[in-house]
């Protein structure tokens, strides 16, 4: 286990360490540590703009994925339709299919119905890519839901809508929020499909990093990558605590 985790985490540790170097290129800081690259990170307009774009896309995509995933999970778990398990597997196709194919498909589909590239197209793609994660988490919670609680609510005089808002949703809500947080993290780091959909002024953080490393590595990129790692760790921790 130690060997496996070392292999997985060593590249991340190297990125974090090289963000503290005093040299002009990413290197192990043998001659001292500095935080100047993090200061430069906050002063670079392109980086700030990329972060803002990723945050906006992540928020809208996670909300849409949360709505679609929750509604779909309720529909499949509570309905009596045939082939429910097969349909549940179909819902996971965005995870199984390569993001390259998803990106091209969204681009062709969006163009055919008049969706412009940039924010609308990226949000649409990220919603599709993150939807299965919300669906899986909410569906798992509903499968273990104690239906007697809803029966008790109706026995006490509540109608279906009152039961849904006062009993069902409060119990399922932590799973929905956890799924949306996971969707936000995945959206924030999504690159493969996004590269086909960006427009002028809508480069996300992964797109910006990819563009910059074409001309050479900089400790600023290591600092930005470290900030992304920290964001994902905090968000994952919050999702775990909420659940």
Summarize pLDDT for 59-112 with one digit per residue, the tens: 999 999 999 999 999 888 888 888 888 888 888 888 888 889 988 999 898 888
Residue 181 belongs to domain spanning = 2-242
Asked whether the predicted pLDDT for residue 31 surpasses 80, the reply is no
The Cα angle at residue 102 between residues 235 and 58, in degrees rounded to 5 = 25
| Segment 181-185 mean pLDDT | 91
Which residue is listed with tokens 């969706």? 115
User: What percentage of the chain reaches a pLDDT higher than 90?
Assistant: 24
CATH at residue 149: 1.10.3720.10
Label residues 113-148 b or e (16+ Cβ within 10 Å = b): eebebbbbbbbbbbbbbbbbbbbbbbbebbeebeee
* pTM to 2 decimal places: 0.85
Phi/psi at 184 (5° precision): -65, -45
Tell me how many helices (H) and strands (E) the chain has: 12, 0
| Number of C-beta neighbours around residue 228 at 10 A | 19
Q: How many domains, in total, are found in the chain?
A: 1
Residue 29: pLDDT above 80? no
Q: Is the dihedral of CA 45, 55, 241, 162 positive or negative?
A: positive
* pLDDT (0 to 100) of residue 127: 94
């Amino acid at each position: 286990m130690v060997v496996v985790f070392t292999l997985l985490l060593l590249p991340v540790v190297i990125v974090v360490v090289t963000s503290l170097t005093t040299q002009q290129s990413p290197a192990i800081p043998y001659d001292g540590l500095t935080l100047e690259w993090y200061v430069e990170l906050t002063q670079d307009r392109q980086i700030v703009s990329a972060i803002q774009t990723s945050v906006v896309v992540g928020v809208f995509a996670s909300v849409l994925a949360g709505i679609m995933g929750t509604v779909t999970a309720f529909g499949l778990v509570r309905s009596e339709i045939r082939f429910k398990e097969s349909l549940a597997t179909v819902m996971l196709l965005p995870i199984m299919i390569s993001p390259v194919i998803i990106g091209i498909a969204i681009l062709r589909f969006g163009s055919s119905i008049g969706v412009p590239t940039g924010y609308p197209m990226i949000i649409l793609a990220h919603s599709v890519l993150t939807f299965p994660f919300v669906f899986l988490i909410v569906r798992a919670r509903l499968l273990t839901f104690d239906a007697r609680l809803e029966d008790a609510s109706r026995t006490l005089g509540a109608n279906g809508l009152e039961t849904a808002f006062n009993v069902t949703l409060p119990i399922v809500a932590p799973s929905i929020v956890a799924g949306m947080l996971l969707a936000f993290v995945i959206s924030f780091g999504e690159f493969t499909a996004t590269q086909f959909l960006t427009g002028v002024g809508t480069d996300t953080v992964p797109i910006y990093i990819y563009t910059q490393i074409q001309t050479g590595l900089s400790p600023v990129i290591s600092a930005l990558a470290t900030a992304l790692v920290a964001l994902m760790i905090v968000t994952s921790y919050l999702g775990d605590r909420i659940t």
